[in-house]
Structure 1
Amino acid sequence: MKNKNESYFIELPEEVIDLVEFKNHDEIELNIGDKGILLRTDASKKEHVPMKPVVIASVITLVTSFAVFFSFKQIPLTGYNSIATVVVIMGILTGMINFTYFFTKSKHSDIPMITSKIYWRNFPAVLFSYTILLVISLLFLFKVLDQLFLGASFDIYTSSIITTLMISVINYMMIYISRTLTPQSLIRSLIAIIIGGVTIAMITNKDQQWWTTNFSFLGTPDATNSWQFNLTLMLSALLMIALIDYLFVLLYSILGKTKGLIILKVLLIATAISLGGVGFFPYNFNEFSQQMHNRVAGYLVYLFIILIVSIRWLIPGLKKSFLLFSYAIGGSLILGVFLFLGIGYLSLTAFELITFILAFTWLLSLLKYLVDIVTYEGKRFKVKLSTIENNQ
């Protein structure tokens, strides 16, 4: 049973004292979550979103909505001259402006490992990726709403209010993202683009039974809206290059600019370029595009093999668990090739899907491994919890 006369204190290593500027009687915020205990030395430094630009964007949208909807008695939820049209257009314009403005401000921030460490050369790729991700999300949202509220329409006042509220949420999110960009958020965005784009392409082509042909069918002219699948690959490549460039600036400062890390960066960027090339050169009726599609797809396979085989020599102090995981993925890929080419057990669609899932699971795991190095290397410490007897 706990003794009520006991108090507890935490002994911090000297390295922590050197990293964090503690002051006597500092108030420390303690949060208990599913991942353990989080201590904040200054709760006032929490990231907050300024509401003034959100309000400005909302007022502009409200005026624009009245102007656009003025001549209509009822405004549909989706379609031409609809709420969806105004939300997408105004969301892109105001969201991009606020994202750019606050990203620029954050470049001069003193907060470590945030946008201040992202190169300007990466900004266009990051901005473009998040803008397209916004568009895809809005289109998906209105597709769902259109199915839920089939044929719904509203008067000018209700439509303007709905539009304004949605633009407020969009700008709030874009400002928050621009001020809190981290390697983790870039990886989450990369996953969202890959899974979201591929899933939408699959759903769009469900009536054409794409799985009876092959996975690559989603990017061919025979597919419905094949641009969605190809754009997904190109966007993923852009965001990957931005993330890789960002990550390796931090990795060099932690692990040193070793030959292994330089080679790893080159291989990862080449992988991203090959991935984008698969979408940039779709397998269509143009013979040159067909040849380039097959060529870059082949390069992508070779690069994955080289990365998996050589990873143990490229990353200093690579954990054995990740090395074993890499070899397991490599072995699974070889098994898939045997089941497809060797004995013909797998269909082309199944083979492409399995190799796609395995390869990108490993790639995202590698990026997550590198992010963990950047995030936690030299920042994890063991502390001792002790008791103090309270004398009454």
Structure 2
Amino acid sequence: MAKKYEIELPDSAFEKTDFSTNEELSLSVNHKQINIRPIKVRDQLPKINIFWYVIPAVILSAAFLIFVNLKSITTIPITGDDYSIANGALILGGCSGVLSFLVTFIVTKILGKGPSKDFYWRSLPTITIACGLIIAFSFSAIFWLFEQMFKGARFDIYTATCFIFVILAALNYIMINLALTLSSGVITNLLTIMIISGMLFSMLTNSSRDWWRYNFSFLGTAKNSTSFQFNITLIFTGLLMIALVDYLFVSIQKRYRGYKIQVLRWLLIMLAICIASIGIFPNNPQFHILHDRISMWLVYIMLILIIVVRWVLPEVTKQFLTVSYVIGVVMGAEYIVFKLTDYLSLTAFELFEFGLAFSWLLLLLQNIENLAQFGQNLFVIKIKPIDKK
């Protein structure tokens, strides 16, 4: 016969939930962890009123239709022309999506509801601009793909307006949902998506197809037609990383104190500043020396982090330390091979080093995120069997 158990929760933990006493809840066990949540799945999802994302889409779609009518346009291409579905979706979608995120974030923070209440106001501009950049990069890539698939396709203004409406409504919903579920994990994903999509976009659309014959930094120079996109990606990646570190360490310091945790925090902030500075000072002739020195500082800080992580990261695991040292050794070996042989080109060396460094940085942020989560939401409970009499 199965035993019955009761769980004693402290009041401080119960107050963080929306549960009521005597409410029936569901319990699941996953990876040796117990999760307690509402029985109905819909109670766990953000409640987004349909009018929040449909009405702005209707208004902007109507504005698009009126505009093309005033211009006496009869058919609209997917991309290419000034008056195309791609440009309409990019301009209207970027404004609508960013505004939806901004309004939702501000309202929920003022009301003290949702995850936005745990973020600082100073992080809002960086996160908002990062969202706008991701929308721009994503739309550019998607419509470039559509153009390759449907070459020469044109639509009448009413069909094009319907496409615009669907795109705007979907984007508004995604951005509102993002603001309602914002977390350190989401920001880490935004950081990853932004830097990868921004660099890929610059590689695919730049004017020089032989950029790889020079070096990775060539993408940010004045010789590259998409240097602005490349550099702005680096700048806001650095700023977004600062916002993430700022958010995480406030939570961590509720449980872990001392100078070691501050050393880790400032090393990460300096690393983020170096990333942003590489975008601010591209490898143009007037900034060449400064650009190279900042790049070297970036490498030095990465090596320092890998070496000291075992002392400055609380509760660090042997697995993470092993991965850190392996990545450090591989990066060092690549540097020696690059300097002593002609096996690796400068571009290949930079791409390999960037891939390894960025992968390790994501692992480190994931470990810090786990510490922040447990440090803020860790409570002592008791599980004891119910005696049957």
| Shorter-chain TM-score range | 0.7 to 0.9
Rounded Cα–Cα distance in structure 2 between residues aligned with 1:206 and 1:327: 39
How far 1:187 moved relative to its partner? 0.4
Residue in structure 2 matching 1:28, options 14, 25, 29 = 25
Q: Distance in 2 between matches of 1:101 and 1:18?
A: 30
Q: Give the stretch that moved more between structures: 73-82 or 22-31.
A: 22-31
Aligned residue for 1:265? 265
Mean Cα displacement is larger for which, 291-300 or 176-185? Answer: 291-300
- In structure 2, the residue matched to 1:277 is 277
Query: Structure 2 vs 1, CA of residues 159 and 185 (structure 1 numbering), >3 Å: closer, same or farther?
Result: same
Q: Which residue of 2 aligns with 1:64?
A: 63
Question: Is the CA contact (8 Å cut-off) linking 1:8 and 1:385 kept in structure 2?
Answer: no
Helix, strand or coil for the counterpart of 1:141?
Answer: helix
- Equivalent pairs, count: 379
Which residue pairs with 1:3 in the alignment? none
13, 16, 21: which one aligns with 1:19: 13
Unaligned runs of 5+ in 2: none
The 8 Å contact of residues 229 and 279 in structure 1, kept in 2 or not, is answered as: yes
Cα-to-partner distance string for 1:54-78 (whole Å, 9 max, x where unaligned): 1221221122121122111111121
Report deviation, 1:254: 2.5
More off after superposition, 243-252 vs 376-385: 376-385
Q: C-alpha displacement at 1:309, in angstroms?
A: 1.3
Aligned-pair distance for 1:250? 0.9
Matched-pair identity in %: 34
Deviation at 1:359, TM superposition (A): 0.8
Using the TM superposition, give the Cα deviation of residue 97 of structure 1 relative to its aligned residue in structure 2, in angstroms.
1.9
- The equivalent residue for 2:362 is 364
1:177 matched to 2:155? The reply is no
The aligned residue for residue 49 of structure 1 is 48
DSSP 3-state at the match of 1:81: coil
Cα drift, residue 218 of structure 1: 2.0
Tell me, in whole angstroms, the C-alpha distance in 2 between the residues paired with 1:145 and 1:360: 31
Change (3 A) 1:375 1:144: same
CA separation in 2, counterparts of 1:111 and 1:27?
A: 23
Q: Deviations over 1:176-232 (max 9, x none)?
A: 111211000000111111111122222235972333322222222333412222222
> How far apart, CA to CA, are the structure 2 residues paired with 1:9 and 1:345?
66
Q: 1:324 aligns to what SS in structure 2?
A: helix
4+ residue stretches of structure 1 with deviation over 6 A? 31-37, 380-389
Match of 1:308, SS? helix
User: Does structure 2 conserve the Cα–Cα contact (< 8 Å) formed by 1:333 and 1:358?
Assistant: yes
8 Å contact from structure 2 (residues 89, 164) kept in 1: yes
Which amino acid letter does the alignment assign opposite residue 46 of structure 2?
E
Please tell me whether the aligned partners of residues 255 and 316 of structure 1 are also in contact (alpha carbons under 8 angstroms): yes
**Alpha-carbon displacement from aligned partner over 1:139-160 (angstroms, at most 9, x marks no partner):** 1111111111111111121111
Specify the alignment match of 1:162 in structure 2: 163
Cα offset, 1:37, TM superposition: 7.3
Give distance in 2, aligned partners of 1:11 and 1:78. Answer: 62
Distance (Å, rounded) in 1 between the aligned partners of 2:104 and 2:199: 31
Relative to structure 2, which stretch is displaced further, 25-34 or 368-377? Answer: 25-34
Q: Distance in 2 between matches of 1:379 and 1:223?
A: 50
Paired position in structure 1 for 2:101: 99
Q: Which runs of 5+ in 1 are unaligned?
A: 1-5
Residue 200 of structure 2 is matched in structure 1 by 199
Question: Of 85, 95, 114, which residue of structure 1 is paired with 2:87?
Answer: 85
Residues 338-384 of structure 1 show CA distances to partners (whole Å, capped at 9, x for unaligned) of: 11113443222221111111111111111111111122356499998
**Structure 1 residues 205, 66: closer, same or farther in 2, change over 3 A?**
closer
Cα distance in 2 for partners of 1:147, 1:31 equals 46
Correspondence list, 1:228-267, <5 A: 228-256=229-257, 258-267=258-267
Change over 3 Å in CA distance of 1:385–1:325 after alignment to 2: farther
Q: Partner letter of residue 27 of structure 1?
A: E
CA contact (8 A) 2:334 2:349 kept: yes
Match of 1:209 in 2: 210
Helix, strand or coil at the partner of 1:161: helix
Q: CA offset at residue 243 of structure 1?
A: 0.6
Amino acid at match of 1:303: I
